[in-house]
Every structure is written in structure tokens, then in C-alpha cells.
Amino acid sequence: MSKKLCKLVKDDILDKDMKEYMKFVSDGKYVCKKCGRVANKEENLCSAKKLKSKDE
Ligand SMILES: [Zn+2]
């Protein structure tokens, strides 16, 4: 089961496990349209939208 970053942040992952949080946001490629979070995997956000990159 994939964890949602949006929920983890609400559950205080920043206080509990900063390293785990970093794994989600490093090299972020998607932004959540609802929460404004950024993650590198679409599945980790509740309403993901792909960020534009220089390559596209
Ligand atoms: Zn979200």
C-alpha cells in the first residue's frame, strides 16, 4: 500500500521522521492540487498534477 504524503504531513511526519519526508519530496515531480505538497511519485499525493520540467 502506498503512503500518501498529504496524510503523512497531517500526521506530523515533519516532527516524527524528517528523513522519511525527504524521500517523498526530493526531486519532486508532482504537486498536489488540493494540499500544495510536492512529491516525486504521483501515487503519494491525493490529487497529483505533474510539474513542468525543463525537458518538456
Ligand atoms: Zn494532497
Range of the domain at 23: 5-50
In a domain, 24, yes or no: yes
> Which residues partner with 49 through β-bridges?
31
Q: 15 CA distance to ligand 1 centroid (A)?
A: 19
**How much distance in Å is there from the Cα of 55 to the middle of ligand 1?**
25
56 assigned to some structural domain: no
- Give, for 13, the enclosing helix (H) or strand (E): helix 13-16
Number of domains in the chain: 1
C-alpha 20 – ligand 1 centre gap (Å): 17
| pLDDT for residue 3 | 86
What pLDDT was estimated at residue 11?
95
Quick check: is 55 in a domain?
no
In a domain, 25, yes or no: yes
pLDDT for 1: 57
What letter does residue 23 receive in the DSSP assignment?
H
Cα 31 to ligand 1 centre (Å): 8
Q: How does pLDDT run along the chain (56 residues), one tens digit per residue?
A: 578 999 999 999 999 999 999 999 999 999 999 999 999 999 999 999 999 877 66
